[in-house]
């Protein structure tokens, strides 16, 4: 019999009842150290007092009004994002996949408004932009698309790192390129800064819009507010979600005036997008992350975690291959099946997340402490030791 929850997830049996900072309390009383953070969602940890206060204060005043009216909490968050990023304008969504939908629509509309017949969107294999029809067409992988055809047409998917294919494909029939500066689901694969710069130049040469998907790698995760800042470039359009709501459903599309100008009244909408509760939390998240010492602290702790992980890789060569990633978005490429390491972590009450390419992701809250980093590394050490022992 089909369960009451449509079984689209392979769930592990643990269920959590409470969270504080980097810790989750399970139904059976076990305290888990959370180095998954809801897959990069709980950027400020669980139950951050300032977020609880922002949410409850708003909840006592007003939950929802239609986008037919001005929403001051939404205006405040949009102004903050415009102040701290390349963007001139913002549309709020409830998720990353909705941000992907709008980014694709925006790119096509941009050229349609100029009477230019440019609809092609170029993406890279290994990407993950969500589960909507546009996002799965952008992925192209069999796992994502099988049985869901006919797919939205107009997507060209290139091999990651294939510069020749990129040069050959980008011409003036292409509307946009979509790329994650650090692929998340694809196995924590950072695009080198020089490649991101080169991509920006190619897009400029052909008048193509550059859309960055910073749903997973954005919102402070790499030690800058957005990952592309390391490469010294700016996109035309950017998808954001996950960390921006700190656990409350919120996403956004950020755009330059030029890229967004064709999205006039009536071209897009959302009942809940930019809801007062979500935006009250989002504004508090951005305020905290843009305090002067927040991002440097992320960088410092990221360095610490990375160094400890490199040591761990050296001491368990049968289990680990190498560490990669940026900031507090790190992946360990494994020599054992990655899900086995994740499961061995569960046995040590440590939560991590598997990704493609046999990688285990470490995505702790950005507020993680030095002591918690040391604790996570020693739990991983024990998990790796147990794997080797069990294999013997």
Residues that bind ligand PLP (CB under 6 A): 39, 95-97, 100, 128-130, 180, 184-185, 213, 215-216, 241
| 153 half-sphere exposure, CB direction, 13 A CA radius | 2
Q: Which is nearer to ligand PLP, 96 or 331 (CB)?
A: 96
CA angle 125, 247, 214 (to 5 degrees): 30
CB of 173 to ligand PLP, least distance (A): 25
**Alpha carbon distance 105, 178 (integer Å):** 13
CB 91 within 8 A of CB 252: yes
β partners of residue 89: 255
* 97 marked as binding residue: yes
* 215 marked as binding residue: yes
CB 216 within 8 A of CB 353: no
CB of 22 to ligand PLP, least distance (A): 20
Q: Which is nearer to ligand PLP, 187 or 276 (CB)?
A: 187
Sign of dihedral through CA atoms 233, 297, 247, 51? negative
CB of 158 to ligand PLP, least distance (A): 17
Q: Which is nearer to ligand PLP, 278 or 312 (CB)?
A: 278
Q: Which is nearer to ligand PLP, 94 or 308 (CB)?
A: 94
What number of other Cβ atoms are within 10 A of residue 387's Cβ?
Answer: 22
* 96 marked as binding residue: yes
* 292 marked as binding residue: no
* 162 marked as binding residue: no
Alpha carbon 267 to its chain's center: 26
CB 262 within 8 A of CB 113: yes
* 213 marked as binding residue: yes
**Alpha carbon distance 245, 4 (integer Å):** 28
* 145 marked as binding residue: no
Q: Which is nearer to ligand PLP, 20 or 160 (CB)?
A: 160
CB of 180 to ligand PLP, least distance (A): 5
**Alpha carbon distance 58, 77 (integer Å):** 14
Q: Which is nearer to ligand PLP, 282 or 387 (CB)?
A: 282
* 90 marked as binding residue: no
CB 240 within 8 A of CB 250: no
CB of 384 to ligand PLP, least distance (A): 26
CB of 128 to ligand PLP, least distance (A): 5
| 233 half-sphere exposure, CB direction, 13 A CA radius | 25
The residue with its CB nearest to ligand PLP is: 96
Question: For residue 302, what is the enclosing H or E element?
Answer: helix 294-315
Residues marked as binding? 96-97, 128, 131, 213-216, 270-271
Residues marked as binding for pyridoxal 5'-phosphate? 96-97, 128, 213-216, 271
Residues marked as binding for N(2)-acetyl-L-ornithine? 131, 270
């Amino acid at each position: 019999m089909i369960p009451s929850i449509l079984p689209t997830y392979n769930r592990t049996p643990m269920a959590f009842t409470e969270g504080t900072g980097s810790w989750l309390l399970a139904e059976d009383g076990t305290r888990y150290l959370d180095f998954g953070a809801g897959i990069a969602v709980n950027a400020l940890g669980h139950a951050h007092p300032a977020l609880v206060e922002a949410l409850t204060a708003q909840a006592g005043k007003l939950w929802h009004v239609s986008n037919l009216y001005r929403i001051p909490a939404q205006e405040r968050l949009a102004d903050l994002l415009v102040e701290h990023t390349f963007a001139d304008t913002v549309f709020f969504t409830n998720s990353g996949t909705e941000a992907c939908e709008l980014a694709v629509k925006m790119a096509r509309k941009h050229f349609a408004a100029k009477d230019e017949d440019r609809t092609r969107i170029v993406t890279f294999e290994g990407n993950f932009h969500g589960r909507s029809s546009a996002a799965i067409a952008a992925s192209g992988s069999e796992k994502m698309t099988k049985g869901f055809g006919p797919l939205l047409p107009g997507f060209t998917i290139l091999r990651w790192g294939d510069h020749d294919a990129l040069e050959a494909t980008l011409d003036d029939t292409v509307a946009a390129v979509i790329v994650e500066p650090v692929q998340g689901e694809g196995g924590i694969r950072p695009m080198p800064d020089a490649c991101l710069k080169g991509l920006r130049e190619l897009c400029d040469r052909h008048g193509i819009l550059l859309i960055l998907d910073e749903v997973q790698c954005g919102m402070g995760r790499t030690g800058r507010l957005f990952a592309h800042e390391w490469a010294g470039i700016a996109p035309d359009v950017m998808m954001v979600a996950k960390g921006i709501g700190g656990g409350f459903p919120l996403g956004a599309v950020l755009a330059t005036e030029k890229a967004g100008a064709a999205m006039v009244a009536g071209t897009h909408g959302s009942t809940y997008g930019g809801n007062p509760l979500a935006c009250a939390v989002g504004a508090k998240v951005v305020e905290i992350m843009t305090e002067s010492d927040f991002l440097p602290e992320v960088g410092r702790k990221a360095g610490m975690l990375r160094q400890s992980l490199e040591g761990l890789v050296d001491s368990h060569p049968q289990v680990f291959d190498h560490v990669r990633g940026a900031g507090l978005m790190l992946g360990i490429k494994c020599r054992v099946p990655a899900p086995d390491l994740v499961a061995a972590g569960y046995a040590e009450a440590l939560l991590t997340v598997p990704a493609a390419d046999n990688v285990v992701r470490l995505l702790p809250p950005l507020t993680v402490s030095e002591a918690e980093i040391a604790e996570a590394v020693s739990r991983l050490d024990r998990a790796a030791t147990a794997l080797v022992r069990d294999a013997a």
